[in-house]
Amino acid sequence: MKKPDLQGPGLWTTSVGSFPKPEYLTKARSRFARKEIDRAELRELEEKATREWIEFQDSIGTDVVVDGEMYRGDMVAFFAEEMPGLEIGGLVRSYGNRYYRKPIATGPVGRDHAITVDWWKFAQSLTDAPVKGMLTGPYTICDWSFNEHYDTRRDFVLDLARAVRDEALDLERAGARFIQIDEPAASTRMDELDLVIESMQIVTEPLSAHTITHICYGDFHHAYPKMLDIPVDQIDLEFANSEYSLLQDFEDAPFTKYIGLGISDVHSHELESVDELAEGIRRALKYIPADRIFVDPDCGLKTRTVDEAKEKLSNIRKAVDVVRAEL
Amino acid sequence: MAIRTTVVGSYPKPPDEGQTFTVRKTLHAIERGDATGDDLKRARDKLAARHIAEQEEAGIDLVTDGLARWDDILTPFARTIRGFEIGGLLRWFDNNVYYRRPICIGDLEWGGPSSVEDLRYAKSVTSKPVKAVLPGPVTFARLSVDEHYGDHDRFVEAIARVVAQEAFELEAAGADVIQIDEPALLDAPEDLQLAKEAIGTITSELKSTTTLLCTYFGDAKRLGRELFDLPVDGFGFDLISGPENANLIADAPSSKIVQAGVIDARNTKLEDATSVAATLEQLAQKIGEDALWASPSAGLEFLPREKARAKLHLLAEAARKVGA
């Protein structure tokens, strides 16, 4: 397990990835879609929003910063748009009033150019804190796409794994010390957890950065402790949305990796109090030492408003300070 | 003679590429305070009518309203049944689709109809027979959190009583078919006896409406032939995610309807109508043409609108080829 390149007693603060886009950017994205502004104009506003989010994270003392994904829409479509073999499909609903464009594999899938490296370099140039490289994992890209090409899901996933590995290597060469490969779909089918592990091995094997995967919305009780076999240094999980029920599983099988401890529900407008958040951290400390814990929201914050997201992040930071003082 | 065709329930809410997505826009407008519940009702009525029209145009014999007003099959009921609260998001089986988990915090009581107005509206815009969809008690219980009863059997029975009241009201409102969805039963064979009693609680309230018990996303082999002891008029199966269901269907009692999901509702790749027709032909030989209904493998909302519509047309085309 690769130690994170960070100082201090632990309980480092970070984020899962996405932040809400400010109104001027969502408007610009709509105008860009209607061809009323050009790519350069949109890019300028994406950079402005990225700068604002990095300044905010620095202002509250975030240990590992994210760029907030101001230039991304959906986490699968963003990669699919750049990858040969994947086409962008029509709108499908994920929940409530939320829809995404589900890609379709229509040929052999690969990667012919770096997709995230320019943005990572830009974000890292704005802060002294390490910026996470943010990738969507091969299993999730497969699971959240239609397949009109491959005979088996395994063939599809392994082609994707090689493409994601190449992107991760490019990020590392650019200087990324933290690389997150999100696999929110990993908990979907217990009989495919071996495929998640096999494909992640392809991605992380050549890397020397601290590697993280984020998994959400699933039946963790069935996936645990086998999910500890996923070859990454840190697993980031939602605790607020599941009312910390996963901690019970740590009684029987200790959590052996670094943990990303999601303590704030990203699908609720409700702002958790500093006391409530601090209590969540204390509960986790019974099972995992502070120097193996990163503290963050449950998931990407993009569905909240900018103010809600900032309040949630500020309160998490305050809760960490409260608990750090007790260590 | 052609095989009868139907849908499993849901249909995509987004319009065709490039057209205005009124329901989504209206929901956003409501969040901003720029639209009212009446605006939303009008938008959803229009969507439901369009869903039905597209099924009719494709030649589907037994239609639904596409569950045009629902986010999932539990929430509309959990909202009106007293004793439930709405909880966090959880994955809907093995799909990249999420539902809000109901939390039971008190005695469950029928709090008025959940879906009866939807059915009345659907009946008012079509002359075709209309199917109503209800969540099965076992699935409802297994996908919820019980903080009140502390006993799975009692929880299921309590749900069955309120769902039975809804079924009674749906029949009174003119539902031609009531489909009770029990996808969670596939992974819970230990609940089969419990399901038998719970489904009995519902169907014993009904006089004339045809009832179906529908499973999807997998095969029912762990339930075995005992599944057919459940007191309903017919059974729905997903033959795409559960190809072995074809074997079970061969054992269906001759008095039962079989709704066979032969078109993949979860992948865009279009089937070949001739091979689908061949599958239906084989099933018809086993159980008889009259007992067989052809359907997609699950609700079509997993697909973009154009793909879902193409699948409906393909289904009807395949059904027409049988015996032709």
Are A91 and A99 contacting, i.e. CB atoms less than 8 angstroms apart? yes
Please judge whether A143 and B89 are an interchain contact, meaning their C-beta atoms are less than 8 angstroms apart.
no
DSSP, residue by residue, A111-134: --S-SSHHHHHHHHTT-SSPBPEE
Q: What is the mean pLDDT of residues A253-278?
A: 94
Out of B14, B98, B267, closest to residue A99 by CB: B14
Q: Which of A78, A60, A76 lies closest to A14 in space, CA to CA?
A: A60
Please judge whether A146 and B268 are an interchain contact, meaning their C-beta atoms are less than 8 angstroms apart.
yes
Q: Which domain holds residue B137?
A: 4-321
Helices (H) and strands (E) in chain B, counts: 10, 10
Q: Does A102 touch chain B (CB under 8 A)?
A: yes
Tell which CATH architecture fits domain A12-71+128-135+177-324.
Alpha-Beta Barrel (3.20)
> How close is the nearest chain A Cα to the Cα of B198, in Å?
26
Q: What is the mean pLDDT of residues A236-257?
A: 90
Boundaries of every domain in chain A: 12-71+128-135+177-324
Here the CATH number for the domain that contains residue B151 is 3.20.20.210
Question: What pLDDT was estimated at residue A218?
Answer: 66
How far apart CA A266 and CA A28 sit, in angstroms, is: 25
Please judge whether A95 and B305 are an interchain contact, meaning their C-beta atoms are less than 8 angstroms apart.
no
Give the residue on A whose Cα is nearest the Cα of B97.
A94
Question: What pLDDT was estimated at residue B1?
Answer: 58
Binned at pLDDT 50, 70 and 90, residue A222 comes out as: confident
**A223 has pLDDT over 80:** yes
Name, in order, each residue with C-beta under 8 angstroms of B26's C-beta and a sequence gap of 6 or more: B35, B39, B40, B43
| Cβ contacts of B268 on chain A, cutoff 8 Å | 89, 104, 146, 148
| Cβ contacts of B304 on chain A, cutoff 8 Å | 89-92, 102
Residues on chain B bordering chain A, Cβ-to-Cβ distance under 8 angstroms: 12-14, 17, 21, 24, 27-28, 71-72, 88-91, 94, 96-100, 267-269, 301-307
How far apart CA A50 and CA A119 sit, in angstroms, is: 9
Please judge whether B12 and A93 are an interchain contact, meaning their C-beta atoms are less than 8 angstroms apart.
yes
DSSP B177: E
Stretches in chain B below the pLDDT threshold 50 = none
Q: Please report, for residues A10, A200, A316, B117, B261, the alpha-carbon distance to residue A4 in angstroms, rounded to integers and kept in the order given.
A: 10, 19, 20, 57, 50
Reported as a single tens digit per residue, the pLDDT across A228-243 is: 999 999 999 999 987 8
Total of domains in chain B? 1
**A81 has pLDDT over 70:** yes
